Amino acid sequence: MRDYLEILSFIIFGVMLLWFGFNLFMGQWSKMSYARKDRSQAKGSAGDPQVCPICSSKLIRGDLVKTLAFPSLTGGKDRLMHIRGCAYCIDGAIMRKCPVCGTSISITDILVARIFERPRRRAHVHIIGCNICKRVGKL
């Protein structure tokens, strides 16, 4: 009886190892790494959803654009926001360009934008320009 329990435990342990290996190489983690390698050709226009406004790269699930939103001074529904860019253009691998004036901007430059909060809908972001064409100064 004890031999059967040992054999059964080895079979269960082996099935668990096979399941873990299958998920590791064929599951969601391998798809995510493949999508990150393949994303260098994915471009969009600066106003489309899920696109970085600075480098026009399509963002995959989990990618975020680094922003800093300030509180409203007038108590209204619009706020001032600074956009730094996505993780791919912040590290300097992709050319950064202002969508308003079209000049090339450095890693320390930002985009100045207004964010409009709307009830029961997504917020609307309107890009005013970069700190070069709007003379905000470097941060």
In the chain, what are the domain boundaries? Answer: 2-37, 42-130
Phi, psi of 111 (to 5 degrees): -105, 140
Write a three-state SS string for the chain: CHHHHHHHHHHHHHHHHHHHHHHHHHCHHHHHHHHHHHHHHCECCCCCCCECCCCCEECCCCCCEEEEECCCCCCCCEEEEEEEEEHHHHCCCCCCECCCCCCECCCCCCEEEEEECCCCCCCEEEEEEECCCCCCCCC
Q: What is the mean pLDDT of residues 22-47?
A: 60
Q: What is the Cα–Cα distance from 99 to 128, expressed in whole angstroms?
A: 9
Q: What is the mean pLDDT of residues 110-137?
A: 84
Q: What is the mean pLDDT of residues 10-15?
A: 92
- Global pTM reads 0.64
Encode pLDDT of 37-79 as tens digits: 444 556 776 667 788 888 888 888 788 889 998 888 877 778 8
Out of 21-30, 44-53, 102-111, 120-129, which region has the weakest mean confidence (pLDDT)? 21-30
Amino acid at 123: A
Q: Is the pLDDT of residue 34 over 50?
A: no
